[in-house]
Structure 1
Amino acid sequence: MSAVASEWFSTWFDSPYYHRLYQHRDHAEARAFLGRLLTHLHPKPGARLLDLACGKGRHSRYLSEQHYDVTGVDLSAQSIAYARQFAHEHLHFHVHDMRDAMPYGPFDLVLNLFTSFGYFAEEAENVVALRNAAAALRPGGKLVVDFLNTDRAIRELVAHETQTVDGIEFRLYRHFQHDFIVKEIRFEDEQGQEQCFEERVRALTQERFEEYFALAGLRLAETLGDYHLGPFDPATSPRMIFVLKK
């Protein structure tokens, strides 16, 4: 199954404005989180890692620097084209839809980080994606799914804000609609044309994830609640970070 144009992520993630809007993300925090996660999970030196939904490969590159054999896959052809300039013998990038069977592997560790899940219109596709990730793991391998704490996110949803980046005023509108947290991104491009993109993430609860994991044949080992790997608290944790075993 290939992504069709009507799927929001197939256009927005390939837009230069996506990368412009989010260019100020805290990459130092992300690297620190990855470092803690590797210490916590302690994959062996040279272990095979899959960065599932790797974007432009920034985190795949960091993982490779830690002496692992890393494969990064992403739906965005433009992101993978950019990432491939950094590829080498132990760092590979491929265009891949996580709803399709993984032709790479087996892996010791699969990482799906920074809310790169729950984008699909059909809920069954989430289970398909997890089954494919599980199939790409060697027996005894681990999968990490890092997702927002949906209950807290909905409770603290900021309905409207404006961010000006590189002279472009991005107007952001957020709401909860039909089981999805939706963010509309509106702005005028350099030609003065009004642009509108959308991000839609299914509001998956801890209980729903656990149902998915059971259907995918994965065992939940632990649930962490933040990028410092604190325990998950449904009321206060900013993240739901699931560590699963095959």
Structure 2
Amino acid sequence: MTEAWYEKSFGQDYLLVYKHRDMQGAQAEAKQMAGWLDLAPGAEVFDLCCGMGRHSLALAEEGYRMTGMDLSDVLLAEARRLDDHKQVEWVKGDMRRVPLTGPYDAVVNLFTSFGYFETDEENGAVLAEIGRLLRPGGRFLLDFMNARYVEHHLVPSSERQDGAVTIRESRSIENGFVFKRIVLVESGKPDRHYLERVRLYELDDFKRLLAGTGLVLDQVYGDYESGAYSEEESKRLILVGTREGA
């Protein structure tokens, strides 16, 4: 079988391409998330697609008992390296088939770690897993890009330098997906090529996908300052809600 884009792209070079994402930003976002989720101290929270663990660690600092899961061995290794005080349980797994039972008081899925798959059925399976993992009355938070904003403000290409490496990024919208193609150029070495592809889901798409999952949408924000969501102007689409049955 052909290797899926997300099996290749979240490797060692990902740490280079995205190393500008810092812990300080994650800490500020975690404080805001803590307010939105309104959980008791010591609540059990699951970070679905935790990446290198910035938000898991920041939420642990807020007093939550954290479990972080990702498919990438490289990113999980970095998360464990950053977890100086062994505050988080790190797990490898596929977000469509989480190898855990929960139940958790909250599940978070952050920084557009959704929409990776070809079909609504596969992407919807991720929401169904969130519903399965939550206790009745448990809370969820999904932080996604605002598709309409991305469509109107897409930067077709950019280039930057990191030491000896030139990072070239090109972006396009094709068949309802946003594509980012990344090329790393380093003297004396073959160019390294990566692809990122995410489905451009809008708010109405999420409402449709949430049907039947037991998840109820309570609030929609357009940024981490609790700004109201605007389809045309917001950079983010942040969904906050509850599992039925409390």
TM-score when normalising by structure 1: 0.93
Residue 225 (1) aligns with residue 219 (2): no
Corresponding position of 1:44: 40
Corresponding position of 1:60: 56
Q: 1:74-109: per-residue Cα shift (whole Å, max 9, x none)?
A: 011222233234276752000010110441411001
Report SS of the residue matched to 2:211: helix
CA distance in 2: counterparts of 1:161 and 1:73, whole angstroms: 31
Matches within 5 A, 1:1-246: 6-14=3-11, 16-85=12-81, 86=83, 91-189=88-186, 191-246=188-243
* 2:216 alignment partner AA: R
CA contact (8 A) 1:102 1:132 kept: no
CA distance in 2: counterparts of 1:74 and 1:5, whole angstroms: 20
CA contact (8 A) 1:114 1:146 kept: yes
Q: 1:181-239: per-residue Cα shift (whole Å, max 9, x none)?
A: 00110122454202211100101011101101113221110101101121111111110
Report SS of the residue matched to 1:200: strand
* 1:55 alignment partner AA: G
* 1:141 alignment partner AA: G
* 1:173 alignment partner AA: S
Structure 1 unaligned runs (5+)? none
Q: 1:21-79: per-residue Cα shift (whole Å, max 9, x none)?
A: 11112442232111012023221011000011001212211111222111000011222
Greater Cα shift, 181-190 or 52-61: 181-190
Greater Cα shift, 121-130 or 107-116: 121-130
CA contact (8 A) 2:36 2:240 kept: no
CA contact (8 A) 1:102 1:133 kept: no
CA distance in 2: counterparts of 1:81 and 1:142, whole angstroms: 28
Structure 1 vs Structure 2 CA RMSD: 1.7
Greater Cα shift, 37-46 or 143-152: 37-46
Structure 2 unaligned runs (5+)? none
TM-score when normalising by structure 2: 0.93
CA contact (8 A) 1:226 1:241 kept: yes
> What is the count of residue pairs matched by the alignment?
242
- Runs of 4+ residues deviating >4 angstroms: 87-90
* 1:78 alignment partner AA: V
CA distance in 2: counterparts of 1:52 and 1:163, whole angstroms: 30
CA contact (8 A) 1:5 1:11 kept: no
Counting aligned pairs with the same residue, the percent is 35
